[in-house]
C-alpha cells in the first residue's frame, strides 16, 4: 500500500538521536516511535526499531547523519500504509 500513491507521506520519528547515530560499529536495534497522519486524517503511531545501515555513508567523516533501517512488527503493519513492508 505504501507505493500505491504518489502523495507525500510526512513521517515523524522520535528517537534518542545521539545514541543511534553514534552506533555505527555495533549497530544495535534502538526503540523509536514513528507517527504520521493517515488517510482518515487521524494520527497513526507505531513502536518501531531502527538501526544504522550502509557502509560509506555510516562513516561520520562522510555523512553527518547515517542511513537508518526501520523495522516494523508484522502485526503493526496489517491494514496500514506499511502493509507488505518489513524494513
Domain boundaries, given as residue ranges, for the chain? 11-77
Give, for all 87 residues of the chain, the pLDDT tens digit.
676 777 788 899 999 999 988 888 888 999 999 998 877 888 989 899 999 998 888 888 888 888 999 988 777 777 677 777 777
DSSP string, the chain: -TTS--S---EEEE--HHHHHT-SSS---EEEEEEEE-TTS-EEEEEEEEEE--SGGGSTTT-SS--EEEE--HHHHTTSTTTT---
pTM for the whole thing? 0.79
Amino acid at each position: 500500500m505504501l507505493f500505491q500513491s504518489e502523495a507525500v507521506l510526512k513521517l515523524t520519528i522520535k528517537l534518542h538521536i545521539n545514541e543511534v547515530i553514534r552506533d555505527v560499529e555495533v549497530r544495535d536495534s534502538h526503540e523509536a516511535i514513528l507517527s504520521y497522519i493517515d488517510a482518515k486524517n487521524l494520527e497513526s503511531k507505531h513502536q518501531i526499531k531502527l538501526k544504522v545501515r550502509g557502509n560509506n555513508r555510516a562513516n561520520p567523516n562522510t555523512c553527518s547523519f547515517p542511513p537508518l533501517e526501520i523495522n516494523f512488527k508484522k502485526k503493526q503493519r496489517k491494514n496500514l500504509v506499511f502493509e507488505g513492508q518489513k524494513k
